[in-house]
Amino acid sequence: PGIERALTLRTVEDVERIVAHVKEKPLTAVVIGGGFIGVEIAENLVHKGIKTSVVEASDQVLAPLDPEMAFLVATEMRSKGVDLHLGVSASEITSEAVLLSDGTLLDAELVILAIGVRPEIGLAQTAGLTVGSRKGIQVDEFNRTNDLDIYAIGDAAEKTDALDGSATLVPLANLANRHGRIVADHINGRIIRPVATIGTAIVKVFELTIATTGWNERRLSTSGRNFKVIHTHPS
């Protein structure tokens, strides 16, 4: 209930709406979702002097990280004034607040929803294109769909996981950029080197820089793969 009051961050127009609300100098904000977008939004709101809470339904921020890494991010966020609520979800948004599943009521003049993305496949389905196992548009190594005159790129297109060769969804800007270059080269008849997806992401959170690539420990354990864990503590 009340979800229509929440702003989302997807398009340039969405950014302009958020900026317009921030210019009204709200005192409080709630960001729902502790992924890359939610964490970055929270940092920017804090820099604007807005008391900001982040609500994340799982027990850690930045799901691709292993827990011991995510703990350091949460500690940094809290040290900079972010009110972090982990393991709870938003159950209702009112005109002035966000009610959480544990009964907590957070003041919220501004509410921003950042709980993830899913492929926009409506047009592809209407056009009769094949949708893959991950509900993204299925493409070959040149990013062609099953209709060879139509390409699909970016977050809506499925990728090939470098570790096991399975279909995967990795909504990252660097991959979308690579897709665009592959399509341009293919159209122009240039030689293309197909590259599987590792899923590298880098984000700045206040005084920390966090990076992740490949599978995390949890996913490796679930898959039954053998792996080693190495912790380094550089200066």
CA nearest neighbour of 137 among 129, 126, 148, 147: 129
The whole-angstrom separation of Cα 137 and Cα 152 is: 7
The whole-angstrom separation of Cα 232 and Cα 130 is: 44
Backbone angles phi, psi at 55, to 5 degrees: -115, 125
pLDDT at 166: 94
**Kind plus residue range of the DSSP H or E element containing 186:** helix 173-187
* Across 163-177, average pLDDT: 92
pLDDT tens for 139-155 read 999 999 999 999 999 99
pLDDT at 95: 94
* Across 153-179, average pLDDT: 94
**117 or 220: whose pLDDT is higher?**
220
Which of the four pLDDT bands, split at 50, 70 and 90, describes residue 165?
very high
b/e per residue 155-182 (b: at least 16 CB within 10 A): bbbbbbbebeeebbbbbbeebeebbeeb
Within 8 A by CB and 6+ apart from 43, the residues are 77, 80, 82, 204, 205, 206
pLDDT at 234: 83
Q: Which of 180-184, 193-197, 199-203 has the lowest mean pLDDT?
A: 193-197
The whole-angstrom separation of Cα 118 and Cα 40 is: 19
The whole-angstrom separation of Cα 164 and Cα 168 is: 10
Which of the four pLDDT bands, split at 50, 70 and 90, describes residue 128?
very high
pLDDT at 233: 87
pLDDT at 193: 87
pLDDT tens for 78-106 read 999 999 999 999 999 999 999 999 999 99
Which of the four pLDDT bands, split at 50, 70 and 90, describes residue 10?
confident
Helix-helix angle 36-47:67-79, to 10 degrees = 20
**Kind plus residue range of the DSSP H or E element containing 84:** strand 83-86
Global pTM value: 0.90
Which of the four pLDDT bands, split at 50, 70 and 90, describes residue 221?
very high
pLDDT tens for 11-44 read 999 999 999 999 999 999 999 999 999 999 999 9
pLDDT at 92: 97
The whole-angstrom separation of Cα 204 and Cα 62 is: 12
* Across 184-191, average pLDDT: 96
**Number of alpha carbons in the 13 Å side-chain half-sphere of residue 199:** 20
What is the Rg, in whole angstroms, of the alpha carbon atoms belonging to the chain?
Answer: 20
